[in-house]
Structures are given as C-alpha cells and as structure tokens.
Amino acid sequence: MRPSSRWMFIVIAIVCMRLPAWAVSVAWTPVGNPGNGCLYTGGGATGSSGCYGAVPYAYGIDTYEVTNAQYAEFLNAKAKTDQLGLYNTGMGSGSGGITRSGSSGSYTYTPIAGRADMPVNFVSFFDSLRFANWMNNGQGSGDTETGAYTPLGDTPTPSNGNTVTRNAGATIFLTSENEWFKAAYYDAASASYFYYPAGTDLNTPTVCAPPTGTPNRANCGNVVGGPTVVGSYPGSPSPYGTFDQGGNV
C-alpha cells in the first residue's frame, strides 16, 4: 500500500541505459509499452487530472523495495556526521531495521539481525531524494545534493523543499506518480489496468497472508505484525514483475 504518512519506503526508477556494477546491486524490472493511456481514478491532487499511469518512455523500476542493507550502505558512505539527518532513530525501533553506533564524525550503521533484507522504513521524502542522487552519482563518495535532484541549503529539509523537481538528464530517480502507477497496475497484454498490484480485478481482492508463493497474497492488515523480507510473495508480482507495491512497508 502506498505510504500515507511522513515516513515512506523508497522505490527508485532508471532510464534505460547500461550501468556499471555497484556495491548496492539493484534488480531492475523493465517497464516498456511507452505511450500507454492513463486510468482515470477520479479526483486527484490540485492541478492533477486524476488520470494516472500514462508514461511516454520506457524505463526500469526496482523490482523490490529498497532494503535496510542497501540503505545502511548509503548511511555508511554519506552519514558519518549525518548533518542531513539521513538516519532516523525510528530505524532502530521495532519496525525499523538499522542501528547506529559511535559519535558524530564516526557514526557506523548496521542492519539489525534478520532484517537486512526487509524494506527500509522511517525515511523522509528528502532522504529518498538524496539516496536517489547517491545512486545516480555512482554510490561510494557520490554527492547527495546534485544529480537527479538539487536540494539546496545542506539541511535536512532543503530550502527549496516545496519546489525541488527531477533534473533533466537524471538516470536514477524516485518514481513519479505515473511511473509508480503504471508499474503496479498496467497490463500491456490487454492495454488496461488491474485494480490490485498482484494482477487482479475488483472482484478478486488481494488476501493478507503470511509469506507464501500462493498468488494474490500480500503482507497487509498487520497480518505478520511487521515488515517481511522483500520478495516473500513470489506468486504475487505486478503485471510487469515488481513485488510489494501493495503491502509490506
């Protein structure tokens, strides 16, 4: 289910191009069929038609949610001091998955045992932009303030936070509403949209269940009391082959 609070998981996308091998390895799912029509969902945000999913280009989307292990790599590379507030103390709590040790200037970050491959939780929108920048810039010492986005001010909440947008030429970035929606619901074979991300319609709602290979199942309704390892529902992909776009964090 898409996040409704300040804290969110990270879903990143990529334009179609050849990329080098990285420490944080991402399984990209290709999303083709450029030029598809949108689905009118009614309403929509201010300035929006309420018609979602149309994307005029091919792209790739992370097959899974970004994990605690992947985000810990980012923190260890870019948050030794953490002046940008990339770590939230909630990450060390019951539904989190990363602990921090040491002092400012020498912080280190470690995935909690058994949670390394669960989706990272308690990341803000701006944390996510900076993670995308780091990925876009090659990881390692890659910059967090330039690349796919240009947050200004070197503060946790950028001074241009209400207006920051994806830069032209970005290669790795947060999904837009349309990119996310298409990857979750669009069925290229029928040129139409499913109602649920597991590829079912309104009369076949997704069932909340513990991890299983049975189709049309998800970690929802607090059925397991917390996050599950990404990819724990191999029988329930979206039409393009992504997982957990409905359920988990």
20 has a pLDDT exceeding 70: no
Interatomic CA distance for residues 133 and 205, integer angstroms: 36
Give me the pLDDT at residue 42, please. 80
Interatomic CA distance for residues 198 and 238, integer angstroms: 5
Q: What is the mean pLDDT of residues 13-35?
A: 78
Interatomic CA distance for residues 91 and 77, integer angstroms: 17
- Tell me what percent of the residues of the chain surpass a pLDDT of 90: 86
| Closest to 66 measured CA to CA, from 133, 13, 1, 15 | 13
Q: How do residues 56-94 score in pLDDT, each as one tens digit?
A: 999 999 999 999 999 999 999 999 999 999 999 999 998
Alpha-carbon Rg for the chain, nearest whole angstrom, is 18
Interatomic CA distance for residues 44 and 243, integer angstroms: 25
Interatomic CA distance for residues 145 and 133, integer angstroms: 7
Could you count the other beta carbons within 10 Å of the beta carbon of residue 25? Answer: 7
pLDDT band for 13, please (50, 70, 90 cuts). Answer: confident
For the chain, what are the domain ranges? 12-184
Give me the pLDDT at residue 232, please. 98
Helix, coil or strand: residue 12:
strand
Q: pTM here?
A: 0.91
DSSP structural state of residue 226: S
6 has a pLDDT exceeding 50: no
Q: What is the mean pLDDT of residues 211-239?
A: 97
Reading the block at residue 130, the tokens are 């900076």
Average pLDDT of the chain?
92
Reading the block at residue 36, the tokens are 């598809």
- Tell me what percent of the residues of the chain surpass a pLDDT of 70: 90
The more confidently predicted of residues 15 and 168 is: 168
pLDDT band for 3, please (50, 70, 90 cuts). Answer: very low
Give me the pLDDT at residue 73, please. 97
Interatomic CA distance for residues 133 and 56, integer angstroms: 23
pLDDT band for 149, please (50, 70, 90 cuts). Answer: very high
